[in-house]
């Protein structure tokens, strides 16, 4: 029996997928943490927190620039800058990253439909493929650039929550709010270089 075109379009071998991985020491500690302040826990583990942001400093509540966050056009235009910057980190980490604390159950079709409405066409194929093949795991490996960008967009649009770990560079990148993404460094000597790189994409790495 011939399959429908949409079935062929979401074949696993054609669309990138999450790969379940085994937790290792540092991620296992964070997964098992049951306190209220994850930022402080990162500090206890020796990581320093910065923010990837479109503004060079935290804005006061009456700052007119905050209105930009209400503009869908502005947010989507700025999104490309974030993705380009995050791709630099991904590539320098041998194009491999681990995902954990995933706050989305892709096996739930209603949840997937909600995400589909907030993401792009290419991301919709990824979501359908994740739904079709989803395996629940505490940690996943991502080696595909398109899939990596899918999660960065999900973080920026507040559609997906989770934490990415760049093992080689010992960097954690978390979802956030209002396009401000927390990033944690073990080696703060990387910060100045990445601050300069962020500026090339018209965004900021601030503390």
The confidence score (pLDDT) of residue 14 equals 79
More confident residue, 147 or 61: 147
Is it the case that residue 2 has pLDDT exceeding 50?
Answer: no
CB 171 within 8 A of CB 183: yes
The confidence score (pLDDT) of residue 59 equals 79
Is it the case that residue 94 has pLDDT exceeding 90?
Answer: yes
Is residue 142 domain-resident? yes
Is residue 130 domain-resident? yes
Question: Is the pTM for the entire model greater than 0.95?
Answer: no
Mean pLDDT of the chain: 91
Is residue 10 domain-resident? no
The confidence score (pLDDT) of residue 133 equals 92
Report the relative pairing of strands 171-174 and 204-206 from DSSP bridges: unpaired
The confidence score (pLDDT) of residue 198 equals 97
The confidence score (pLDDT) of residue 87 equals 98
The confidence score (pLDDT) of residue 1 equals 43
Q: What is the pLDDT of residues 39-49, one digit of tens each?
A: 999 999 999 99
Q: What's the number of domains the chain is made of? A: 1
Is residue 26 domain-resident? yes
Boundaries of domain holding 132: 15-55+65-206
Report the relative pairing of strands 163-166 and 139-142 from DSSP bridges: unpaired
Q: In percent, how much of the chain has pLDDT > 90?
A: 77
Task: Indicate the pLDDT class of residue 7, thresholds 50, 70 and 90.
Answer: low
Q: What is the dihedral of CA 127, 133, 138, 143, to 10 degrees?
A: -70
Q: CA 91, 201, 123: angle at the middle one, nearest 5?
A: 60
Is residue 4 domain-resident? no
Is residue 97 domain-resident? yes
Is residue 79 domain-resident? yes
Task: Indicate the pLDDT class of residue 68, thresholds 50, 70 and 90.
Answer: confident
Is residue 8 domain-resident? no
Q: What is the pLDDT of residues 148-161, one digit of tens each?
A: 999 999 999 999 99
Closest CA to 52 of 189, 176, 186, 200: 176
The confidence score (pLDDT) of residue 6 equals 52
49 phi/psi in degrees, rounded to 5: -90, 135
Cα distance between residue 112 and residue 130, in whole Å = 9
DSSP 185: E
Sheet holding 139-142, edge to edge: 19-20, 139-142, 97-100, 163-166, 171-174, 181-185, 48-53, 204-206
């Amino acid at each position: 029996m011939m399959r429908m075109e949409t079935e062929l379009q979401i074949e696993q071998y054609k669309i990138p997928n999450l790969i379940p991985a085994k937790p290792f020491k540092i991620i296992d500690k964070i997964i098992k943490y049951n306190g209220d302040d994850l930022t402080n826990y990162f500090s206890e583990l020796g990581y320093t927190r910065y923010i990837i942001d479109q503004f060079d400093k935290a804005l006061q509540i009456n700052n007119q620039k905050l209105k930009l966050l209400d503009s869908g056009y502005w947010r989507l235009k700025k999104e490309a800058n974030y993705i380009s910057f995050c791709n630099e980190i991904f590539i320098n980490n041998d194009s491999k990253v681990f995902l954990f604390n995933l706050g989305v159950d892709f096996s739930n079709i209603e949840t997937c439909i909600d995400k589909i409405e907030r993401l792009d066409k290419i991301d919709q194929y990824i979501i359908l493929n994740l739904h079709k093949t989803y395996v629940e795991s505490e940690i996943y490996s991502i080696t595909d650039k398109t899939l990596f960008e899918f999660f960065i967009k999900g973080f920026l649009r507040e559609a997906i929550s989770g934490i990415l770990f760049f093992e080689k560079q010992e960097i954690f990148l978390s979802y956030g709010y209002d396009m401000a993404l927390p990033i944690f460094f073990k080696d703060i000597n990387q910060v100045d270089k990445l601050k300069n790189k962020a500026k090339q994409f018209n965004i900021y790495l601030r503390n």
